[in-house]
């Protein structure tokens, strides 16, 4: 059986608009049998059944979607996702499908400030190998490598980046970026954690401090971090004094520090087809929205109050009507839906329609992972360190992280954002029904951080 699977953690389509690469993967149950033997029958979701007779085009599409969902269900399971059997299968499929021979190549990786880092890697190197090569080029200590990740981004016409996805363990970064056959796609190095308390670990090292400083300046410049004129003046003064640690300490107090912002999309909160801008960070999803006749407002959804979430995909049928904002006709539509504890006894589904829904889901899961490690008293260093006892390929020539230019004056066109109350009481809530119930239980991501919620968290 042939089916197409996108080279991302999505059920269908991609998380960057057009970055869709189809892999013709032969699945006959062999992989499923190997995983059952390795982890037991009760761990795996049911393998999609085959039909003995020829399939209609509609049935072929249904089968393809079932197989994609199976692969994603396995990949997103914490236990199965770490399976080398599964990851090596996807890596081989990626390289063989693109017909890329194993050879040494130069790969360009960007820092948050646009600085280019050129590393020599193999086309068959997985994400971890490339990350270690970048760290070696920058002389970043191996115990800090896990604090950073590689992201696939798309450069817009205005020079800003739209984050497509975080590169996963099963990917080959060189193949991933070159197979898109477009110069607008880049690989960017960015910190991989959410809790600013872990900045202290990174700031102890000179290279780590410079990387964090460059990212923060870039986030302020692009408007991801919200600053007042007075705060901007103080930050610029610290820049002029080259007081990087003091600069970061002040930045840590600002709204949306360390957040990842997504492209404009739509949500069904507080009303249907509401244009929003979603940001992820500090154990929450932030939705900036504009209600009719009102100024820009912000609502925050805490991860600890999300009972569960899921990503679904659909292909709207062509019709004579006009499309809603953010819903391209005939294109795969991705939705992130989460069940949120609005009050002590009331759960409500909130749905965000965005090509970046997969990445939003991955951000939620990583924030939950951090919360659980912190709650259990575990070490974030151990959680983030990927290869214990691994060897790093050190480069003969290290590359310094350049200091970013001084902050420009605040953009006068940027509006101030009014923060809604923690319970979103300033927004009239409408009864929002549950998303379609045809998804199986394996499509839903249960939130272990939700189980420990108490009245004091409401």
Question: For residue range 73-104, what is the model confidence (pLDDT) as tens digits?
Answer: 665 666 666 777 777 777 777 777 677 889 99
| 398 within 8 A of 138, measured Cβ to Cβ | yes
Band (pLDDT 50/70/90 cuts) for residue 15 is: very low
Question: For residue range 273-317, what is the model confidence (pLDDT) as tens digits?
Answer: 999 999 999 999 999 987 677 677 889 999 999 999 988 877 665
In percent, the amount of the chain with pLDDT more than 90 equals 41
Band (pLDDT 50/70/90 cuts) for residue 45 is: low
Range name among 50-54, 112-116, 241-245 with the lowest pLDDT average:
50-54
203-207 contacts at long range (C-beta below 8 A, 24 or more positions apart): 203/245, 203/248, 205/140, 205/141, 205/144, 207/138, 207/139, 207/140, 207/141, 207/144, 207/401
Is pLDDT at 403 greater than 70 in this prediction? Answer: yes
Question: For residue range 210-248, what is the model confidence (pLDDT) as tens digits?
Answer: 999 999 999 999 999 999 999 999 999 999 999 999 999
Task: Supply 332's token pair.
Answer: 């795969």
Band (pLDDT 50/70/90 cuts) for residue 49 is: low
Please give the sequence-ordered ranges of beta strands (E in DSSP) within 192-295, or none if there are none: 260-261, 265-267, 274-281, 284-290
Of 195, 212, 302, 205, nearest to 248 (Cα)? 212
H helix and E strand count, the chain: 11, 17
Give, to the nearest 10 degrees, the angle between helix 229-240 and helix 244-251.
160
What's the whole-number average pLDDT of the chain? 76
pTM of the model: 0.75
Band (pLDDT 50/70/90 cuts) for residue 379 is: low
């Amino acid at each position: 059986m042939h089916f197409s699977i996108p080279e991302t953690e999505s059920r269908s389509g991609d998380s960057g608009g057009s970055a869709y690469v189809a892999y013709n993967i032969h699945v006959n149950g062999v992989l499923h049998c190997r995983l059952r033997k390795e982890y037991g029958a009760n761990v795996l979701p049911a393998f999609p059944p085959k039909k003995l007779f020829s399939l209609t085009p509609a049935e072929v599409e249904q089968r393809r979607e079932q197989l994609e969902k199976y692969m994603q269900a396995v990949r997103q399971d914490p236990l199965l996702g770490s399976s080398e059997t599964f990851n090596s299968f996807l890596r081989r499929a990626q390289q063989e499908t693109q017909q890329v021979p194993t050879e040494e190549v130069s790969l360009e990786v960007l820092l948050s400030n646009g600085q280019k880092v050129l590393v020599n890697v193999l086309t068959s190197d997985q994400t971890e190998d490339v990350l270690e090569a970048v760290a070696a080029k920058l002389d970043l200590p191996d115990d800090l490598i896990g604090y950073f990740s590689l992201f696939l981004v798309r450069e817009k016409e205005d020079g800003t980046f739209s984050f497509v996805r975080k590169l996963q363990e099963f990917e080959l970064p060189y193949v991933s970026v070159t197979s898109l056959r477009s110069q607008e796609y880049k690989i960017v190095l960015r910190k991989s954690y959410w809790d600013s308390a872990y900045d202290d670990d990174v700031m102890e090292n000179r290279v780590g401090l410079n990387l964090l400083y460059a990212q923060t300046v870039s986030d302020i410049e692009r408007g991801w971090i919200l600053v007042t004129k007075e705060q901007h003046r103080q930050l610029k003064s610290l820049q002029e004094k080259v007081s990087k640690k003091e600069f970061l300490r002040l930045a840590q107090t600002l709204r949306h520090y360390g957040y990842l912002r997504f492209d404009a999309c739509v949500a069904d909160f507080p009303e249907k087809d509401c244009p929003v801008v979603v940001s992820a960070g500090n154990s929450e999803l932030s939705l900036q929205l504009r209600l009719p006749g009102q100024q820009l407002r912000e609502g925050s959804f805490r991860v600890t109050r999300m009972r569960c979430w899921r990503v679904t995909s659909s292909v709207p049928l062509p019709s004579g009507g006009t499309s809603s904002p953010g819903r391209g006709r005939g294109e795969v539509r991705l939705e992130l839906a989460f069940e949120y504890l609005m009050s002590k006894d009331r759960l409500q589904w909130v749905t965000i329609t965005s090509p970046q829904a997969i990445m939003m889901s991955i951000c939620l899961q990583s924030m939950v992972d951090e919360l659980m490690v912190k709650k259990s008293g575990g070490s974030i260093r151990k959680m983030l360190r990927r290869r214990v006892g691994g060897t790093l390929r050190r480069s003969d020539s290290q590359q310094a992280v350049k200091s970013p230019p001084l902050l420009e004056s605040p953009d006068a066109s940027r509006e101030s954002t009014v923060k809604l109350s923690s319970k979103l009481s300033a927004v009239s809530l409408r009864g929002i029904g549950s998303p379609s119930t045809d998804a199986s239980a394996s499509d839903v991501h249960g939130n272990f951080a939700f189980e420990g919620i108490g009245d004091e968290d409401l």
